[in-house]
Amino acid sequence: MLGRGKHPRAGAVDHLVKLSLLDRSRTRAGRPEREGLTGSVERAVLAERVGYERFWVAEHHAVPGIASGSPAVLLAAIGARTDRIRLGSGGVMLPNHQPLVVAEQFLMLEALHPGRIDLGIGRSLGFTPAVRAALRHDLDAVDSFEDDLAELADLLDGTGPVTPHPVAPARVPVSLLATGQGLAIAARHGLPVVVGGPILAQDSIGAALDTYRRDFQPSKQAVDPHVTISLDVTVAADDATARELALPEAWAMARSRQTGEFPPLEPVAAIHAQDWSAQVRQRVEKSLAGAVAGSPATVRRMLDDLAERTGADELMASTSTYDREALLESDRLLRDLVP
């Protein structure tokens, strides 16, 4: 069972799978983009009220379907409306920033909201060539990610060449958003990992996470390996309703493959009214077939299987749908699935 049970890969001990949310501040067709941000704040308030462990926000630049390009700014707004839930980034894309600036931002957040701040680090270079150019990325440049990651850790610990301020009384936990090579980096640096995307559907995911746990080097950040899996999880009264709620995100992903631009979410009825090319239909159906969406009983079975295959310590749901009330109800229903 998801929640309490055997940890199949990190050892035969009882453990509790923690439950968290990753919100990408998705925009909606026909609605002001600012609602993507205010919706994130309201969702965090509900997440705290019903007992989620963490609430993380994203960093995406110049993407029409996502309003959040600055996690630190959004986290400050969410922190002002909440009291207990942990807040973090899923993630700050380190190649876009100088390590000192990231350290200063998250030490400031920690000073404002003591004991509640997480720093999730990623390495995405931007959604399109134009965005990468605007971010001044040279794809032929030497990859300095690991060096920057080590520098950031030293700055957060106060052991770097300069001391960022404000100095925080508690450590800001760092996690790595990792697929493939990122798991090896996380193991070398002793970092918890957040794993999402297509890698979760691969038969090799269990072996990859076994290798991460085996090679993990204890660090100031973490004594033991920690695996968080992140994916869309949509819960509704029945399977058919949940599938419909999952459609706007699947449609947006399929359209982005066709147009090169990730669009705002559209209403389900508007999606059904459009002409679907065979290729788009195939992509949508493939996405829905791989989605964790259904009634509480269906989702529970799917999550139990995923927990068994990965031995995850934490689930971070990154669910999106056009209907905000349905999204909040999905969050409530999901929270009820884990003791």
End-to-end CA distance of the chain: 10
DSSP string, 125-164: --SSHHHHHHTT--TTS---HHHHHHHHHHHHHT-SSS--
List 19's β-bridge partners, or say none.
315
Q: Where are the domains of the chain?
A: 4-235+293-337
User: Which pLDDT score, from 0 to 100, does residue 133 have?
Assistant: 87
Distance CA 215, CA 22 (A): 27
- Which CATH number describes the domain made up of 4-235+293-337? 3.20.20.30
User: Which pLDDT score, from 0 to 100, does residue 136 have?
Assistant: 86
Secondary structure of residue 292 in the 3-state scheme: strand
User: Which pLDDT score, from 0 to 100, does residue 303 have?
Assistant: 92
> Does 9 or 157 have the greater pLDDT score?
157
At 168, is the pLDDT very low, low, confident or very high (cuts 50, 70, 90)? confident
Give mean pLDDT, residues 314-326. Answer: 96
User: Which pLDDT score, from 0 to 100, does residue 180 have?
Assistant: 66
Distance CA 89, CA 103 (A): 13
260: tokens are: 């090169």
pLDDT tens, position by position, 247-286: 999 999 999 988 888 999 999 999 999 999 999 999 999 9
